Structure 1
Amino acid sequence: MQQTTNTILMIRPVNFRMNEQTAVNNYFQEELQLKNAEVNAKAQEEFDGLVEKLRAVGVNVIVENDDIKLDTPDSIFPNNWVSFHQNGNVGLYPMFAENRRRERREEILERLEKEGFEIKNIIDYTSAEDEGVFLEGTGNLLLDRVHDKAYCALSPRADETLFIEFCEDFEYTPVVFTAYQTVDGKRLPIYHTNVMMCLAETFAVICLDTIDDKKERNHVIKNLQEDNKEIIRITVEQMEQFAGNMLQVKGANDKRYLVMSEAAYKSLTATQIAMIEKHCEILYSPLPTIESCGGGSARCMMAEVFLPKA
Structure 2
Amino acid sequence: MQITNNILMIRPVNFRMNEQTAVNNYFQEDIDVQNTTINSKAQQEFDAFVDVLRSKGVNVIVVEDTKEPDTPDSIFPNNWISFHANGTVGLYPMFAENRRSERREDILETLEEKGLHIENIVDYTSAEAEGVFLEATGSIALDRVNKKAYCALSGRADEELFIEFCEDFEYSPVIFTANQSVDGKRMAIYHTNVMMCLAENFSVICLDTIDDKKERKNVIDHLKQDGKEIIKITEQQMHHFAGNMLQVLGGDDKRYLVMSSSAYNSLTSKQIEAIETYCEIIHSSLDTIETCGGGSARCMMAEVFLPRSK
- TM-score, normalising length from structure 1? 0.99
Partner residue, 2:176: 177
1:32 Cα offset (Å): 1.0
- For 2:244, the aligned partner's letter is N
Instruction: Look up the SS of the partner of 1:25 in the other structure.
Output: coil
> How many equivalent pairs are there?
309
Residue matched to 1:274: 273
The one-letter code of the counterpart of 2:232 is R
3-state SS of 1:150 partner: strand
**Does the residue aligned with 2:299 lie in a helix, a strand or coil?**
helix
Quote the Cα distance in structure 1 between the aligned partners of 2:157 and 2:194: 13
Describe the SS at the equivalent of 2:102: coil
Residue identity in the other structure for 1:210: T
Distance 2:305 2:180 in 1: 32
Distance in 2 separating the partners of 1:151 and 1:82: 17
Partner of 1:12: 11
Indicate the SS of the match to 1:43. helix
Distance 1:182 1:7 in 2: 36
What residue in structure 2 maps to residue 289 of structure 1?
288
Q: Give distance in 2, aligned partners of 1:249 and 1:68.
A: 30
> In the TM superposition, what is the alpha-carbon distance from 1:274 to its structure 2 partner?
0.2
Deviation at 1:136?
0.2
Q: Secondary structure at the match of 1:198?
A: strand
Cα deviation for residue 258 of structure 1 reads: 0.2
Identity of aligned residues (%): 72
- Post-superposition shift, 1:33? 1.1
User: Aligned ranges for residues 44-63 of structure 1 at < 5 Å?
Assistant: 44-63=43-62
SS in 2 for 1:11: strand
Counterpart code for 2:107? I
Aligned partner of 1:146: which letter?
V
CA RMSD of aligned residues (A): 0.3
Q: Distance in 2 between matches of 1:255 and 1:274?
A: 17
Which amino acid is 1:236 matched to? E
Aligned residue in 2 for 1:217: 216
Correspondence list, 1:200-211, <5 A? 200-211=199-210
What's the counterpart of residue 88 of structure 2? Answer: 89
Query: What residue number does 2:72 align with?
Result: 73
| Match of residue 36 from structure 1 | 35
1-side partners of 2:132 and 2:264: how far apart?
A: 34
Q: Distance in 1 between matches of 2:25 and 2:265?
A: 23
1-structure distance, mates of 2:15, 2:281: 27
> Any unmatched runs of 5+ in structure 1?
none
* Whole-Å separation in 1 of the counterparts to 2:167 and 2:218: 20
What corresponds to 2:297 in structure 1?
A: 298
SS state at 1:102 partner: helix
Q: Please show how residues 133-212 of structure 1 align to structure 2 within 5 Å.
A: 133-212=132-211
Q: Which runs of 5+ in 2 are unaligned?
A: none
Q: Which residue of 2 aligns with 1:308?
A: 307
Written as runs of structure 1 = structure 2, the 5 A alignment for 1:223-302 is: 223-302=222-301
For 1:76 and 1:38, the matched residues in 2 are separated by: 16
